[in-house]
């Protein structure tokens, strides 16, 4: 009975995560999602998020490094959720002994965060759809993913008026870059219109 209960508990936890992600995406779509921006040390935030994943990385001999310095203007909770999703993905698809590099830098009127892994990469034909809900580039991979993680990341960045971009190639790893503007989404939209 113990294994059945453990299996059921794990499945309940997985379903709870899916429901949580779907509810977040629905709120973001309906503009109900309120973001509470503040300015904070981006490097310190990245190191704190990374420390959560460090035990799993060490277990698999994956090196995670943070580099660069920049302040960021974002909702700290949503920022942590977006970056956490990307690190989780990078760990999931990086082989044992690989590496993940997280960098932060100031860009023009924005802060850029890039997460680069040494995983197997994504075929070019899948790249246009990786931010779509429930899209999985290779459903045959044994991964616990639901296909919602990157959609959630894009939704968070969109709420901030920023951008999410991906570069990848088979056998060449993947880099996801998030850009968070140094002003509110309304101010960013106004700048784009003028």
pLDDT tens for each residue of 52-76? 999 999 999 999 999 999 999 998 9
Q: How far is CA 77 from CA 21, 36, 41, 123, in A?
A: 14, 9, 14, 32
Residue corresponding to tokens 């989404």: 185
Query: Residue 40 above 80 pLDDT?
Result: yes
Query: Which letter does DSSP use for residue 95 in this model?
Result: P
Percentage, residues of the chain above pLDDT 90: 41
DSSP-H helix ranges across the chain: 2-29, 42-59, 76-93, 149-159, 185-193
Of 4 and 87, the structure prediction assigns the larger pLDDT to 87
Query: Residue 185 above 50 pLDDT?
Result: no
Among 33, 7, 9, 10, smallest CA distance to 21 is for 33
Q: How far is CA 63 from CA 3, 85, 116, 151, in A?
A: 33, 17, 12, 26
Tokens of 154: 């894009």
Mean pLDDT in residue range 9-20: 67
Query: Residue 169 above 50 pLDDT?
Result: yes
**Region 2-193: CATH code:** 3.30.565.10
- The domain segmentation of the chain, as residue ranges, is 2-193
Is the separation of the CB atoms in 21 and 146 below 8 Å?
A: yes
Among 79, 86, 148, smallest CA distance to 117 is for 86
pLDDT tens for each residue of 120-168? 887 888 777 777 766 566 554 445 556 667 888 898 898 889 999 999 8
């Amino acid at each position: 009975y113990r294994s059945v209960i453990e299996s059921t508990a794990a499945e309940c936890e997985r379903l709870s995560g899916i429901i949580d992600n779907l509810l977040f995406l629905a709120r973001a779509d309906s503009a109900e999602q309120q973001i509470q921006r503040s300015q904070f040390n981006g490097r310190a935030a990245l190191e704190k998020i990374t420390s959560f994943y460090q035990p799993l990385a060490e277990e698999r001999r994956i090196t995670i490094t943070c580099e660069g310095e920049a302040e960021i203007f974002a909702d700290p909770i949503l920022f942590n959720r977006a970056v956490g999703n990307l690190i989780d993905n990078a760990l999931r698809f990086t082989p044992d002994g690989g590496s993940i590099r997280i960098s932060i830098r100031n860009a023009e009127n924005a802060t850029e965060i890039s997460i680069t892994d040494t995983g197997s990469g994504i075929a070019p034909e899948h790249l246009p759809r990786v931010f779509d809900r429930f899209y999985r580039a290779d459903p045959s991979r044994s991964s616990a993913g639901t296909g919602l993680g990157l959609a959630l990341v894009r939704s968070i960045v969109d709420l901030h008026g920023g951008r999410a971009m991906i570069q990848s190639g088979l056998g060449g790893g993947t880099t996801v870059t998030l850009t968070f503007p140094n002003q509110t989404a309304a101010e960013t939209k106004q700048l784009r219109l003028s």
